Structure 1
């Protein structure tokens, strides 16, 4: 009797005696022996259980079938944005499911099982990619790059370890790997199951496939939509095409950018013609972590930050300092701070990890290295976030770099940040800036207290009370727990604002206390905070300020039309961050002499 006749008479669990049954297929493939007999015994036991519990068996069969359909269609229709995870996104007709059904119906049994299983694994991988896109958009404002971003997953693991402990990071890593493996396995089992259901009644399945294909073509031709989306979906095909195009463009970009990095407007400029108008000045380039435009303009964050900027502007003015401020558009968003640092200082648009590696391996002239090239400055880096070897020191032209372990700090960590900014600045003063020297000092300082998860946030203490940092133990213990802030968007926004206020206050108080007539401070943000804090539609602009006592320093940049004070106006000029190096060098008397090309 034909299989489809039996199927129509009794919808429900298939008869295991059918030759197309997946378990029998495995049994036939097994070699004679104990293993095969054991399999047959398990099959016989399963059949006996179904006979004894027909209703439970039917419920189990339908549950597994419905879950398989939901998993497969859900993977095909799943968006790659958190805000798009709405029920109406899954009420569409996926063309890939129709094509897949037609292919499976045409294949013999064993190739069909193999193709179905591989399709399931592919859908599992596609689901993982969609989840990665969601996470990257949430934190970095862009999609996951299949070529370049695998290394960032290791950075994410390190971030969790530094913020919440190694045990938590290890448990999270193991859990994620197990979930990925489970997802791909379950998806493969689901597609194999659905493939088996198709061939139970090939005539009915063929008709259904033809009808579905006709409906998909009709909806596509007529442009029918539901909830603003086309009914005829090709989400899987579109994603695969998009990823293939991104991989191709990434590989092309690597070659093009390597050529661009070899060309340098100031690469052949003689030392005597680099920044002559800053000779004799102690120049400090400071980056404030996650200091973005949202800190100054977002209604929920800006009031406290703007009060701090206004107060600091007045305090600096009383100490004889004046400032000009504008906006730079960062090459990164939400994280990967090193991309922002390298973009601002290299004059190149460094928006990927591959570009970063290319720049670091080149002899392109960084802004900080230009000072060392003159021979007129000692150069130093203060890097409290660096906890291992840092070969980038050579690219940035730093004679000496102080990492997290070389500043004498004996206090507690503040989540990811190894020490409060106030301590890092005081250590800089003690170890370098406050010393008598034959040459002026050029310094690069990376301030980390405003790094996510923004808990606990340090508070200012008396500068004379800093000691070895032990004074911060009580402050750290009384602060908020990182896990509570991470899981609360409102708390994240509030604590982010507090962290920016702290970092700006620490830096400007250091300048009031220790700055001289020859001190020039350039400070800026490296990127905006993550989208959960800055919002889904936030741009990439960050504030930048130049502060000095000598009026000639600010006169040199009068043509920039920047805003007076530490708070740039909403309509202040906006430049790409990669343009800052050349503008700064030109403003302070450097003469272009191109190299490379």
Structure 2
């Protein structure tokens, strides 16, 4: 045989050709998914029997179809019926199956990859919605909420440690990468048998389309979920609408912020009904209406509120209470604080930044403007620079670094509420001054995950917080963030009891004839505690030693005591500022309305 013929000799079919690259899978668009019948396939450097290859290919195609179907039917809120959600007919899948077989090969591959990428992004959006519904009782805002992911990482780090936070971040990155890679590949793979068996595809698609239209017309449901599903398309539409609505709300908020019925009130006419009083505005983290009305928590909390009402009365204090509707739930405390103090309905970070960068007079700022009080902020949850503090009219701000705490952190909460209140007494309230004191105090011990929890100690034992070392060591493991609902509700109720007890104990010990306390919850706890679709109402109470203080709010119709009953008044949180300034000062300027300012 000539050298020329040797060079054209075929390789031995019984041995893999080590000089050539690995054999690639044939293009199913040309040869079929299993390749050429009867010819063994080479995957990598391993020869695979054609029967095994066909089975493996079909399994992969089946898994790809399941992945696509799960992505189309996955609900964005796991409070919805999840099992029945995956037994529906997705209209998006019907449309894709009807369109893809008619596209040219190149266009079909591009369309499948693009559709898969979009479906991957929508799936990630669903995961974000699930997390936000679970924690904040609302969907993720794709325009405004990205910064909250950093807050979530910080919460995990503070609550469960650095290892938990790092592990969670790595896990999220891997899941996102897997979804964005696998989903286009899955759609592309599913598209191939649709084309190869185009006749059966079109017949099946027609049957499913008729079934979908029939179920949609009849409103057919399975375990509460509509059989005719269009959830993926509706999700995309709802998020587009959400972005559009938030832009509209921002414009309305900017207009409302520019119209302040008290903006031109002379300083010496502000808050004349409270001159000479030490006024405290205290926010209790996650203290919501569910705490006093949910059957699993109400007996404990109601008994605690009744007991503290009696203690206040014995010390010469009276109290009135009602409900306010918060703009947020589960988290976002700063949105509630700024809504309460500014009199504007603030529901997202962009609105918060817009308002706090302006010159709107806040409720606390009114005390500063009146020039009859020293104004102080006690902010144990603030761990970074907080330039917004100036907007709230606070002369001095004590954050987590300025309270002198030397004890352990209790979950997310840097320090126990009793220490915060004792520090307030030591740093400001207990010092004589030429003016009375107006203070804003944030109490954080009732912030989730409610483990471990501090317990009360004697006020003379608080010191620098070292006394809490043993209490912290005896508490529950902070890694136990996900627990059974009954257990977590019990821990939440214990935390609210601790916070309210600490505040009332402080007033009865350090309060005096001119003390006025306004305390309220900032928002409801997470849905796992408050329940699905709970209201956004929070309790609020005003406590005063001087009867004249409560006489001025008699027209409000608030109920006696610290516990508002089921028929107590319910106001939007943004309405409180104007009502309060009206009750303890002059009427709004002529032609101005003291009504709430937001949609």
Taking structure 2 as the reference length, the TM-score comes to: 0.90
Question: Secondary structure, in 3 states, of the residue corresponding to 1:299?
Answer: coil
CA distance in structure 2 between the partners assigned to 1:329 and 1:343 by the alignment: 10
Shift of 1:232: 2.9
Tell me what 1:366 maps to: 362
- Change in Cα spacing, 1:485 to 1:178, as seen in structure 2 (3 Å) is closer
Q: 1:189 to 1:281 in 2, by over 3 A?
A: same
Give 5+ residue unaligned stretches, structure 2. 1-23
Matched, 1:298 2:294: yes
Q: Offset at 1:107?
A: 2.1
CA change 1:104–1:284 in 2 (3 A) is: same
Greater shift after overlay, 207-216 or 440-449? 207-216
Residue 205 of structure 1 is matched in structure 2 by 201
Match of 1:46 in 2: 43
| Structure 1: gaps of 5 or more residues | 1-13, 26-42
- Distance in 2 (CA, whole Å) between partners of 1:198 and 1:170 is 42
Per-residue Cα deviation, 1:454-480 (whole angstroms, up to 9, x for no partner): 011100011111111000000011001
Instruction: State yes or no: 1:16 paired with 2:26.
Output: yes
Deviation of 1:367 (Å)? 0.2
**What whole-Å deviation, never above 9, does each CA across 1:26-49 have from its counterpart, x for those lacking one?**
xxxxxxxxxxxxxxxxx9622985
Higher helix share: 1
1:305-324 CA distance string (max 9 Å, x none):
22221221111112111111
Q: Find the counterpart in structure 1 of residue 187 from structure 2.
A: 191
Q: 584-593 or 446-455: which moved more?
A: 584-593
Distance 1:213 1:461, change over 3 A: same
Q: Secondary structure at the match of 1:552?
A: helix
Q: Do the aligned partners of residues 22 and 264 (structure 1) sit closer, same or farther apart at CA in structure 2, a change above 3 Å counting?
A: farther
- Give the SS at the match of 2:55: helix
8 Å CA contact 2:280–2:517 kept in 1: the answer is: yes
- Residue in structure 2 matching 1:574, options 559, 570, 577: 570
CA distance in 2, matches of 1:529, 1:225: 32
Q: Report the more deviating stretch, 325-334 or 16-25.
A: 16-25
Say which of 125, 132, 135 aligns to 1:129: 125
Contact 2:98 2:202 (C-alpha < 8 Å) held by counterparts: yes
Instruction: Give, in whole Å, the separation in 1 of the partners of 2:213 and 2:227.
Output: 10
Equivalent residue for 2:462? 466
From 482, 497, 504, the counterpart of 1:501: 497
Determine the C-alpha separation between the residues in 1 that align with 2:467 and 2:221. 63
Q: Distance in 2 between matches of 1:398 and 1:291?
A: 24
Quote how far apart the aligned CAs of 1:101 are. 2.1
SS in 2 for 1:482: coil
State the shift of 1:221 in Å.
Answer: 4.5
Contact 1:269 1:591 in 2 (8 A): no
In the aligned structure 1, how far is the partner of 2:211 from the partner of 2:582?
A: 64
Q: 2:359, 2:391 within 8 Å by CA — same for their partners in 1?
A: yes
Mark the CA change 1:362 to 1:196 in structure 2 (over 3 Å): closer, same or farther.
Answer: same
Structure 1 residues 251-330: aligned runs within 5 Å? 251-330=247-326
Count of aligned pairs between the two proteins: 566
- Preserved CA contact (<8 Å) 2:515 2:544: yes
Which digits, 9 at most, give the CA deviation of each residue in 1:49-73, with x for residues without a partner? Answer: 5643x44333322221111111111
What's the C-alpha RMSD, in Å, of the aligned pairs?
Answer: 2.3
Shift of 1:199: 2.2
* Superposition pairs of residues 63-78 of structure 1, within 5 angstroms: 63-78=59-74
- Give distance in 2, aligned partners of 1:420 and 1:210: 64
Equivalence for 1:341: 337
- Give how far 1:170 is off: 1.8
2 CA distance for matches of 1:450 and 1:122?
Answer: 40
TM superposition score normalised by structure 1: 0.90
Farther-moved stretch of structure 1 (101-110 vs 143-152): 101-110
2: CA distance, partners of 1:451 / 1:230? 37
Cα deviations across residues 185-241 of structure 1 (Å, max 9, x unaligned)?
Answer: 111111010112222233443443344434434444455544454433222222222
